[in-house]
Amino acid sequence: MKVLFIAPPQNSGYFNLCYNFTELGEVSTYVAKQSAYADSVDVLDASKKSPNSWKKIGSQLKKGYDVVAIWNRFDNLSNAQKVAKMAKEANPATMTITYGQPSTLVPRHFTREYELDAVVKHGPWELVLEGYLGHLAEGGKTGEAKGLLMKEDGWRDREDLAAPGEPFWEYADLSKLPLKDYFEIYKEEGHIAGFKGTREMSFSVSRGCKMQCNFCNAHKIHGKKDVRKPVDYIMDYVDENFGRYGFDFVSTFSPILTLDRGHAIGFSRGMGERGIDWKCVSHIRHVDDGLLEEMGKGGCQRIGFGLETMAPEAERFIKKKFSRKEVEKAIDACRKHEVIPMMFLMLGIPGETRETFRSTIKFLREKEAEIRMTAFTPFYEIKDSMSIDQIMRYDRESITAENVKGMKREEFEAAVKDIKTWAEGEKI
């Protein structure tokens, strides 16, 4: 079978480009390398909008594919709908399937407004896609097609597909991704705290998360078990690709890199031996002085921590709470080993007030932590019955959260957009 993976035009930016390496690159590479049914796999990443985007998509679709897999994201749904329509117009025999975070949350939405034959709803995307290819190749006889909604005399709901609990995935074949476009995006958005260059390489060190936060999808897609690629495998990939494609540093993709201490130390040492700078995401309770020393020596420039809020009521709402002492300890240990501590906050969690928010920012600034703001996205409200426009509002950039008590909408949006300027205006 001839398969095309396609990323429709979307709002690519610094904070979501890592997904092009993982959700598009890793998923398509798995099918290219491991599929028993795909004879060829092409990838068209048209996510960076350009005047030629639709022309490029149209010409690619004319190449005659058996299956077109469309990557859906909250910011590309209307374009994903257009791509599905174009694929059917180019070749009515092409089977169209979509996968991505929105279809994991609201799969039935995709059975109504799109010209699709199947929707990936639950389980590791590449394995669900492979099951679907097998189903098509064997004339619908295989029982392997799981984790899907499929059109067969109406829409059928297949049973969920559990994550296998082992590091089955493949790293992206970078020759198939438009790295020049990515580098342009990094350049346009300027330098990131702690890094000298702009060309960032990303891959999944681990997948799955045992924390199961109710505002996050990671555990729904990749399972509750933390599964990791062996350090040697990662280093081979870095050796093969880092210099070859001219990267400046590595952004690891891992819900909590330090959850497995031995693996995190092995990874740090490997990167240190190569002299490559990198960053990661961790957890306030999963770092300590000895580990941070290894990470700092190994080239770790920055660690992001999902603090989210320090307002007691909001902490209760998201069922996530850290004491000031714990936060302080993590920040101090990072600073001691010259690693920048970056606290991720979400503004708009029910229970936050202007005063609690100010107090959190004041505390973090006094401790000299970097802060990254996003708006809280109430994914629990999202419904299959919503329209494309309604679902696209759940894109993190769209700011759907309720106003924080005591804050005007404009102030709320200004704080999310640029916390430094907001805090300076507030003289915090």
Residues engaged in binding ligand SF4 (CB under 6 A): 209, 211-213, 216, 218-219, 255, 306
End-to-end CA distance of the chain: 60
Residue 323: CB minimum distance to ligand SF4, A:
17
Residue 320: CB minimum distance to ligand SF4, A:
7
d(CA 289, CA 205) in angstroms, rounded, equals 22
With respect to ligand SF4, which residue has the nearer C-beta, 123 or 255?
255
- Other CB atoms within 10 Å distance of the CB of residue 116: 27
With respect to ligand SF4, which residue has the nearer C-beta, 218 or 235?
218
d(CA 14, CA 31) in angstroms, rounded, equals 26
Q: Which two tokens stand for residue 185?
A: 């995006």
In 148-231, which ranges are E strands?
A: 148-151, 155-157, 200-204, 206-207, 227-228
d(CA 217, CA 123) in angstroms, rounded, equals 11
With respect to ligand SF4, which residue has the nearer C-beta, 209 or 404?
209
Could you tell me the strand order of the sheet in which 200-204 lies?
200-204, 249-253, 278-282, 300-308, 340-347, 370-375
With respect to ligand SF4, which residue has the nearer C-beta, 211 or 428?
211
Residue 384: CB minimum distance to ligand SF4, A:
22
d(CA 182, CA 198) in angstroms, rounded, equals 9
Residue 111: CB minimum distance to ligand SF4, A:
27
Residue 280: CB minimum distance to ligand SF4, A:
12
Residue 213: CB minimum distance to ligand SF4, A:
3
d(CA 397, CA 413) in angstroms, rounded, equals 10
With respect to ligand SF4, which residue has the nearer C-beta, 135 or 283?
283
With respect to ligand SF4, which residue has the nearer C-beta, 56 or 316?
316
